[in-house]
Structure 1
Amino acid sequence: MVGSCRKCENCSVDLENYFPHKIPTYNGYNSDGTLNFGGYSHIMVFDEHFVLCCPKNLLMDVAPLLYAGITTYSPLKYFGLDKPGMHIGVVDLGRLGHMVVMFAKEFGTKGTFISTSAKKNQEAIERLGADSFLIIRDPKQMKDVTNTLDGIMIIDTISVVHSILPLLILLKSHGKLVMVGAPENPVEYLPVFALFIGRKLEAGSCIGGTEET
């Protein structure tokens, strides 16, 4: 973000990311009508409230935390999925998925990578430290994990292609399924009955406020 009203209810509690007219760093319009180009810009001018200082020697390590990091950290904290001993699933191991697995490890929670194939098994477990790998098309694996997860984060941007029903079945009672990926098309099917059974929650989350970041 490079700007917000700083006066509304959301802004007053450091949730500028939920101000309806926030100005994003990329494809956002400034008050003078100019367009922001984010990381493609040579020069940017914006409200100092949204400037985060970082030691130069840490810049390459910190940079991912300012997008993929806060996008996953914020919902993990908000929905209480950061408690040691919990079991968190993550769908898709892209930039955001990497962060979920690494945060889970630091929080002391168990992280399971959920995929349609075993292609990223080695990377998820050996390099990123995921505790387990689940192939959603394997009936036995699905049965073994049913009703065991405290939360699942859907990262993939094509989530509308596959049903979310199998994911809801994996959740414990009061489990939370949080979408942080942006599918190209709207989700048309909501398995309401699966939410009733176990009082489960399907939610969304968008980056985080400046203070949380």
Structure 2
Amino acid sequence: MPVDYPREFQGFAITDPKDWDHPKLTSYEPKKFGPHDVDIEVECCGICATELFCLKNQWSSEPLACLSSAYGPKSQVVGHEVVGRVVAVGDDVTLCRKGERVGLGAQCSSCMACPRCHAHNEQYCAKSVATYCSRYEDGYVSQGGYASHVRAHEQFCFPIPAEIESQYVAPLMCGGLTVYSPIKRGIEGLENPHVGVIGIGGLGHMAIMIAKAMGAHVTAFSRSSKKRADAEKMGADAFVATGEQPNWSKDLFDGFDLLVNCASSTTQLDLDAFLSVLKVNKNFISVGLPEMDDKFVLSPLTFMGNGPCVGVSKLGSRQEAIELLQLAATRGFRPWVETIKISEAGVHEGLTRLDAGDVRYRFTLVGFHDFFGTGSS
């Protein structure tokens, strides 16, 4: 059935975490349209590992937000690497226009009034709303991009340079922005910065390309040498297989201005060794979101040698998203993407293959207009 837009959106949703790998096509009412809201007719959407955690409900001991909502659909559509065309804008929208191709990442709203929002840190707003599985103030649970349409605040809808094809833009909207923000903040203003990227997966492969495009000397870290050739193709200047080189940290003493941890777990990392290779007062930043029980394991004495800082980075600002897209357009790097056509079978394939680690290095769901009968707006 064609989508009865704007009365309804259609998307692939679950109603129970046990069915995480079998989202079904459903229709649902979108949230109330606000004066700063934008409707995006979705063209494609990336598949991000955070969707697995959400669909399986592995980040909370409480039921999925949609199942306990008094308002909105009782099902959950995920997806937060959205690319599409603007088909409607609220009365007060100034940042988007109808017909424009835009990207939407993992955040769809914030208060836009607090000091964090005013300082280009809206991703840390206390009233932030995630693009899916997050509550608005009226109780509506946000619905994501495995769908015909998405509704979001204009601040989080980013204009896309014409040079970049949509299938490559999608992973940049979450994974790419998530690594760009700490890299920019960690090396801006430095001459010949040295950046280490830990974990060569969905996040890490983009971190290598982005850091290289920003002028850094990039070292890729992985447990084995299996991904050495891939890392070099992505632009890594050096490669360290930590499981095969027992003394690697001694050889790299005082070598890095920034370490970006893109590995799926911090518990498995030798953090004492990694912190020891940082220059004085430099940062180790973790960007992946691991399972609830994952911990930082390190000795307090480690900090005495070089005064390193350990932190986490969340998403990125609108300003940083626009900078990242322009960097990709001008420097020509593209995420490594495999496309899958949107359908119940396609969503199942993408989720289960990602869960099994069978991806190099991102999936983008495509064919939305053909499936939903959209694209003529």
**Separation in structure 2 between the aligned mates of residue 82 and residue 39 of structure 1, nearest angstrom:** 36
Residue in 1 aligned with 2:75?
none
Other-structure match for 2:300: 192
Contact 2:266 2:294 (C-alpha < 8 Å) held by counterparts: no
| 1:4 aligned partner | 110
Q: How does 1:61-80 map to 2 (within 5 A)?
A: 61-80=168-187
Indicate whether 1:136 and 2:242 are aligned.
yes
Q: More strand by proportion, 1 or 2? A: 2
**1:146 CA displacement:** 2.5
Q: Specify whether residues 109 and 118 from structure 1 end up closer, same or farther in structure 2 by C-alpha distance, changes over 3 A only.
A: same
Q: Is the 8 A contact 2:186 2:257 kept in 1?
A: no
**Deviating runs (4+, > 4 A) in structure 1?**
none
Cα 1:152–1:168 shift into 2, 3 Å: same
Unaligned runs of at least 5 residues, structure 1 = none
Structure 1 residue 97: deviation in Å?
0.7
- 2:282 matches 1:175: yes
Hey, what's the Cα distance between the residues in 2 that align with 1:120 and 1:45? 38
Change beyond 3 A, Cα 1:107–1:48:
closer
Residue 137 of structure 2: SS of its match in structure 1?
Answer: coil
Cα root mean square deviation, aligned: 1.9
CA distance in 2, matches of 1:79, 1:147: 16
Distance 2:142 2:124 in 1: 19
Native 8 Å contact 1:17 1:206 kept in 2: yes
Distance 1:159 1:195 in 2: 17
Question: Residue 48 and residue 72 in structure 1: after superposition, are their counterparts in 2 closer, same or farther (change >3 A)?
Answer: same
Kept in 2, the 8 Å contact 1:89–1:112? The answer is: yes
Q: 1:165 to 1:102 in 2, by over 3 A?
A: same
Alignment coverage as a number of residue pairs:
212
Q: How far, CA to CA, are the matches of 2:281 and 2:308 in structure 1?
A: 5
Letter in 1 for 2:208: V
Using the TM superposition, give the Cα deviation of residue 36 of structure 1 relative to its aligned residue in structure 2, in angstroms. 2.4
User: If each structure's helix is expressed as a fraction of its own residues, which one has the higher value?
Assistant: 1
Q: Percent identity?
A: 30
CA contact (8 A) 1:148 1:172 kept: yes
Q: Does 1:86 align with 2:202?
A: no
C-alpha distance in 2, partners of 1:4/1:23? 6
Maintained 8 Å contact 2:286/2:313: yes
Letter in 1 for 2:257: D
Q: TM-score, normalised by structure 2?
A: 0.53
Q: Highest Rg: 1 or 2?
A: 2
Q: Is the CA contact (8 Å cut-off) linking 2:114 and 2:125 kept in structure 1?
A: yes
Give me the whole-angstrom Cα distance separating, in 2, the residues matched to 1:153 and 1:81.
Answer: 15
Alignment of 1:44-123 (within 5 A): 44-54=150-160, 58=164, 59-80=166-187, 83-123=190-230
Distance 1:150 1:55, change over 3 A: closer
Q: Is the 8 A contact 2:187 2:258 kept in 1?
A: no
- SS of aligned partner of 1:206: coil
Instruction: Name structure 2 gaps, 5 residues minimum.
Output: 1-106, 322-377
The change in CA–CA distance for 1:82 and 1:155 in structure 2 (over 3 A counts) is farther
